[in-house]
Amino acid sequence: MAKAGPPRPGAAKPAGGRATLRDVAEASGVSPMTVSNLMNGRVGSMRPETRLRIEAQIEKLGYRPHTMARSLRLSKRLSIGMVIVDDMPNYLADPFITHVVSGLGNHLNANGYGLLLQGHSAAAFKGSPMVRDIRTDAICVMLSGSDAIRRGVVETLLGLGQPIVLFQEILKFPAVDLCSIRQDDRGGGRMLGQVALDGGAKRLAMLVPELYWPAIGERIKGIREAIRQQKNGAELRIVTCGDGEFRGTQAALAQDLDTHGLPDAILAGNDQMGISAMKLLAARGIRIPEQVILTGFNAFEFWQYTDPVLTTVRSPAYEIGARGGSEILKRLADGSFTQTDIVYPVALQRGGST
Amino acid sequence: MAKAGPPRPGAAKPAGGRATLRDVAEASGVSPMTVSNLMNGRVGSMRPETRLRIEAQIEKLGYRPHTMARSLRLSKRLSIGMVIVDDMPNYLADPFITHVVSGLGNHLNANGYGLLLQGHSAAAFKGSPMVRDIRTDAICVMLSGSDAIRRGVVETLLGLGQPIVLFQEILKFPAVDLCSIRQDDRGGGRMLGQVALDGGAKRLAMLVPELYWPAIGERIKGIREAIRQQKNGAELRIVTCGDGEFRGTQAALAQDLDTHGLPDAILAGNDQMGISAMKLLAARGIRIPEQVILTGFNAFEFWQYTDPVLTTVRSPAYEIGARGGSEILKRLADGSFTQTDIVYPVALQRGGST
């Protein structure tokens, strides 16, 4: 190997050193600011021959800017945001969300993108760092709260000028850079409502958390559709169960049973609430399904823990997350999503509770 | 309000416009590269009066660099990595991990930092974008695999030159920029082992997933310590249960029961495995705790789903995650962690299974 001489304009960088922006400038006979302008895409007033000369030296010297500087140049942060708007601090408690996040994260990681995860209450959302300072190429979001609150959050995000993927959202935002991916919660509600009606239920109760999630709203609509179609005069009562966790659900259901008596069917907003209800009913000596039909929603791992096992529907949450990742990467690569409203079916899982 | 005049050197930026680096340079009578040098902390060869003049104009014009450029200047990406090394694609399946991630993420978000989440198998780890390109200020990690694999991952991460927080790790890395935060899994194992021994158990079986997690190793050590202390000749058998999920656990336990008969106590590596075991035992008509004592580990939400409820220990996983966040921010702010080995106690939760 030849002995390395002192660096000179146009010379390759000596072995062991790493070419800097200043080396490129010197070798090209331009100022460092001119090289910096090129690296950052500011080439409007640059003469083509200057640009070609600098690019030749970048190639020759093997100059590679710091990753972050390179991201800046490409206007690519190589990061995708995932915002979960939930009033609970443990915003990953629901397995639907963890399946979406891991499906999304795995797809992005495999393609060289990071996942920037944030959980916020709706109230804290506007003050979040993501809203103050854009640090992502696109944003995924899963929202709770009223239509007005959710619409406000999406509009704030749209103001950042980034592509958006909404998970489990039913609000429409026409003609904007947005893709909505969800499961057919209404269809799932219809299926489970139908199971209850087929079991002879006339008085149905639906357990829901106090915080509004659009997917829960869709499940209620599906049950109501099944009732309307049946035309047998069945009625649906909505029982609001605090935070939707074990104790909150049991306390609300206990009060409801004491006030209104036992319904013919209890349809829970998700499996967690269904299992909480099952344990309360068992403690009261009420037999499932003989005295009351009981259903859940989503069929994640712990769905199998009880006896009897809940009748429920199986959620494709992991696939929904992964699809979010592939839609974002397609949008960043060629400017458009494949579709703007993507709906995945859910599948009925019959257990011993109906 | 005064009518805005045309911009001139030293003048405030007209209303509606936003000061650029070029405006600051012009107003200060220096080249844009000089301003850029100051913004990026390259002030070594800069005359103090030049620096003061530029800083005065930055203040006067209200110049604020783009967030990413500012991060570059400060060598701060305002992002903390969280790497989970797990062979399962759904790397957020275990509630221990989701509690750590949400505790960590909430603490970081509240302090203006993002959380960059990644799940990798040990095999895919070296190829991950985080390892190819540093994009964080510090890295948190939760590891599975053999001591050699985990040590290899930590050494790769240490090579990035960033502070590291290890969750649930017991390997020691002396004299490096690292903080270890874990719960007292060994103490928890001792408590549950003692409960089994106090119940008269002589033949104990421990259910563990095939993939090695150091916390599970600690739980085994704790049980063995309780047995040694008791000196009644009790024995511990380790039953490896595939992926540790419902079906895998039941299949492994069924085979073990058929081969070795029913032990006096089954101590599960976590509550999920304990519940899977409970349902298999119930299906075989085996009464808990009359015929076999059964325990879990961690006491997250679904721990309450079964009948009887498992005796277990309660994990402070959310606090562990939040502590990871506060340790990182302290380290970034003043150069050191408060401690390098932080251990949180776990609390015994008695249920009907012992």
> Among all residues of chain A, which has the CA nearest to that of B279?
A305
| pLDDT score for A2 | 39
Confidence of residue A46 (pLDDT cuts 50, 70, 90): confident
Contact yes or no for A109 and B118 at CB 8 A: yes
Distance of CA B109 to the CA centre of its chain: 15
Distance from CA of A230 to the nearest CA of B (A): 34
Contact yes or no for A134 and B67 at CB 8 A: yes
| pLDDT score for A40 | 58
pLDDT > 60? residue A137: yes
> Among all residues of chain B, which has the CA nearest to that of A92?
B98
pLDDT > 60? residue A283: yes
Same fold, B21-74 and B185-314: no
In 3D space, the residue among B242, B245, B241, B246 whose CA is nearest the CA of residue B207 turns out to be B241
Per-position DSSP letters for A239-290, written without gaps between them: EE-TTSSHHHHHHHHHHHHHHH---SEEEESSHHHHHHHHHHHHHTT--TTT
| pLDDT score for B54 | 82
Fold of B21-74: 434 Repressor (Amino-terminal Domain) (1.10.260)
Cα gap A272→A306, rounded to integer Å: 11
Long-range pairs of B105-108 with CB within 8 A, sequence gap ≥ 24: B105/A91, B105/A117, B105/A118, B105/A119, B105/B321, B105/B325, B106/A89, B106/A91, B106/A119, B106/B322, B106/B325, B107/B321, B107/B322, B107/B324, B107/B325, B107/B326, B107/B329, B108/B80, B108/B325, B108/B328, B108/B329
pLDDT > 90? residue A339: yes
Phi, psi for residue B130 in degrees, rounded to 5 = -65, -35
Classify domain A185-314 by CATH number: 3.40.50.2300
Domain boundaries, chain A: 21-73, 79-183+318-345, 185-314
Contact yes or no for A318 and B90 at CB 8 A: yes
Q: What is the 3-state secondary structure (H, E, C) of chain B?
A: CCCCCCCCCCCCCCCCCCCCHHHHHHHHCCCHHHHHHHHCCCCCCCCHHHHHHHHHHHHHHCCCCCHHHHHHHHCCCCEEEEEEECCCCCCCCCHHHHHHHHHHHHHHHHCCCEEEEEEECHHHHCCCHHHHCCCCCEEEEECCCCHHHHHHHHHHHHCCCCCEEEECCCCCCCCCCEEEEEECHHHHHHHHHHHHHHCCCCEEEEEECCCCCHHHHHHHHHHHHHHHHHCCCCEEEEEECCCCCHHHHHHHHHHHHHHHCCCCEEEECCHHHHHHHHHHHHHCCCCCCCCCEEECCECCHHHHHCCCCCEEEECCHHHHHHHHHHHHHHHHHHCCCCCCEEEECCEEECCCCC
Cα gap B129→A22, rounded to integer Å: 27
Q: Is the CATH code 3.40.50.2300 the one for domain A79-183+318-345?
A: yes
| pLDDT score for A76 | 66
HSE on the CB side for B184, CA within 13 Å? 13
The answer to whether the bond into B316 is cis (omega within 30° of 0) is: no
CB atoms within 10 A of CB A159: 9
- Using CB atoms and an 8 Å cut-off, which of residues 104-123 of chain A contact chain B? 105-106, 109, 112-120
> Among all residues of chain A, which has the CA nearest to that of B280?
A305
The residue with tokens 């015994």 is B348
| pLDDT score for A6 | 42
Distance from CA of A213 to the nearest CA of B (A): 20
| pLDDT score for A67 | 47
Stronger pLDDT, A128 or A1, i.e. the higher one: A128
* Token pair recorded at residue A154: 């999406």
**What is the Rg, in whole angstroms, of the alpha carbon atoms belonging to chain A?**
28
Model pLDDT for residues A288-327, shown as the tens digit of each residue: 999 999 999 999 988 888 889 999 999 999 999 999 999 9
Stronger pLDDT, A332 or A109, i.e. the higher one: A332
Cα gap A208→A201, rounded to integer Å: 19
Which of B83, B98, B160 to mutate to test binding with chain A, by most A CBs within 10 Å of its CB? B98
Among A44-58, A267-281, B123-137, B224-238, whose mean pLDDT is lowest?
A: B123-137
Distance from CA of A162 to the nearest CA of B (A): 16
Q: Which CATH architecture has domain A21-73?
A: Orthogonal Bundle (1.10)
CB atoms within 10 A of CB A2: 5
Contact yes or no for B304 and A246 at CB 8 A: yes
Q: Mean pLDDT in runs of 10 for chain B (354 residues)?
A: 40 55 89 76 68 77 57 62 89 92 91 87 72 80 94 88 94 88 98 98 97 96 97 95 94 97 98 96 97 97 90 97 96 92 97 96
Whether B209 contacts B241, CB under 8 Å: yes
In 3D space, the residue among B298, B252, B260, B296 whose CA is nearest the CA of residue B278 turns out to be B296
A272 and chain B: CB distance < 8 Å anywhere? yes
* Token pair recorded at residue A96: 């639907």
The shares of helix, strand and coil residues in chain A, as percent rounded to the nearest 5, are 45, 15, 40
**What is the Rg, in whole angstroms, of the alpha carbon atoms belonging to chain B?**
28
Cα gap A124→A116, rounded to integer Å: 17
B285 and chain A: CB distance < 8 Å anywhere? no
Whether B146 contacts A167, CB under 8 Å: no
Enumerate residues 6+ apart whose C-beta is below 8 A from A138. A80, A81, A162, A163, A164, A165, A328, A331, A332
Strands A341-344 and B79-85 come out as unpaired
Confidence of residue A17 (pLDDT cuts 50, 70, 90): low
Cα gap B113→A45, rounded to integer Å: 37
Beta bridge partners of B81: B116, B139
B156 and chain A: CB distance < 8 Å anywhere? no
Domain at B79-182+318-342, CATH homologous superfamily: Response regulator (3.40.50.2300)
| pLDDT score for B69 | 46
Distance from CA of A269 to the nearest CA of B (A): 16
A326 and chain B: CB distance < 8 Å anywhere? no
A4 and chain B: CB distance < 8 Å anywhere? no
Contact yes or no for B102 and A113 at CB 8 A: no
> Among all residues of chain A, which has the CA nearest to that of B32?
A33
Cα gap A174→B163, rounded to integer Å: 45
